[in-house]
């Protein structure tokens, strides 16, 4: 049996993997930020994300240009604040009327702690209707998010799989997983309300991890809202622990 890897991926490695796992239809670079825009759904695909924590002497002039990018697209400007922020970003945002929203944990751990195949999990090539039925049952899946998910197969650039677990022929649990080198991204882990508290979330996560291991991944990461105690509890049971946090900043 292979021993579990001991050195966790860096924050920059995980952030790059999240940008690949949640693609956006439009993007451009503005200094140390990558500006991403899609249908206005998920935060990661519709935000300015920092990827260079070094000092930025042009930061004050850069923020209006970032705002203008989103204004041209008819989207609200959203800044994703991570440990990769350039110094002084939060103070400048506060001065421009931005306030923090929706703090999330980025959790990480070795796949060897929980990955395992499940004969009842189907591995799909895209977000098929039954998979979408499960995902749509999550309270945060507004129509714009669902529209973005339907377009994922045509724009994602890393290996990915959509997993569906059925119970008595009915779609019950879902997951979306990417394999980006040594990193597996776990997304869209959902269980329909009538099937909850039966261990299905752990089963579909294990199957997703096994798929990623077969692609060469060693670590899994996930991004979970700090208020989502059920998901954090499940992921803790998988051996995923907090690596860092991020917040979104919005005006007003």
pLDDT at residue number 6: 66
Handedness of CA 213, 215, 218, 220 (dihedral sign): negative
Residue 85, number of CB atoms within 10 A of its CB: 21
Rounded to whole angstroms, the Cα distance separating 156 from 27 reads: 13
Name the DSSP class of 227: T
**Where does CATH 3.40.630.30 sit in the chain?**
108-247
Q: Looking at domain 108-247, which CATH architecture does it have?
A: 3-Layer(aba) Sandwich (3.40)
pLDDT at residue number 1: 42
Output the CA–CA distances (angstroms, integers) from residue 241 to 75, 113, 149, 156, 223, in the order listed: 33, 12, 26, 27, 11
pLDDT at residue number 138: 77
pLDDT at residue number 7: 86
Three-state secondary-structure class, residue 145: helix
pLDDT at residue number 4: 58
Low-confidence ranges of the chain (pLDDT < 70): 1-6, 139
Rounded to whole angstroms, the Cα distance separating 193 from 5 reads: 35
């Amino acid at each position: 049996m292979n021993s579990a890897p001991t050195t966790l991926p860096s924050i920059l490695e995980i952030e790059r993997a999240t940008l690949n796992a949640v693609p956006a239809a439009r993007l451009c670079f503005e200094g140390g930020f990558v500006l991403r825009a899609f249908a206005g759904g998920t935060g990661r695909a519709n935000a300015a994300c920092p990827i260079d924590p070094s000092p930025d002497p042009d930061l004050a002039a850069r923020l209006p240009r970032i705002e203008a990018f989103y204004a041209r697209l008819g989207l609200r400007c959203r800044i994703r604040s991570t440990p990769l922020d350039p110094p002084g970003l939060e103070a400048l945002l506060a001065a421009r009327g931005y306030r923090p929203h929706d703090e999330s944990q980025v959790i990480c751990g070795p796949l060897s702690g929980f990955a395992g195949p499940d004969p009842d999990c189907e591995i799909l090539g895209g977000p098929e209707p039954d998979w979408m039925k499960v995902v749509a049952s999550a309270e945060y899946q507004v129509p714009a998010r669902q529209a973005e998910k339907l377009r994922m197969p045509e724009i994602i650039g890393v290996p990915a799989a959509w997993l569906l677990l059925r119970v008595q022929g009915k779609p019950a649990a879902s997951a979306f997983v990417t394999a980006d080198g040594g990193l597996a991204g776990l997304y869209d882990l959902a269980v329909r309300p009538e099937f909850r508290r039966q261990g299905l979330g752990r089963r579909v996560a294990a199957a997703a991890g096994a798929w990623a291991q077969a692609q060469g991944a060693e670590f899994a990461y996930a991004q979970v809202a700090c208020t989502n105690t059920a998901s954090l509890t499940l992921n803790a049971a998988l051996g995923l622990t907090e690596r860092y946090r991020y917040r979104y900043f919005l005006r007003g």
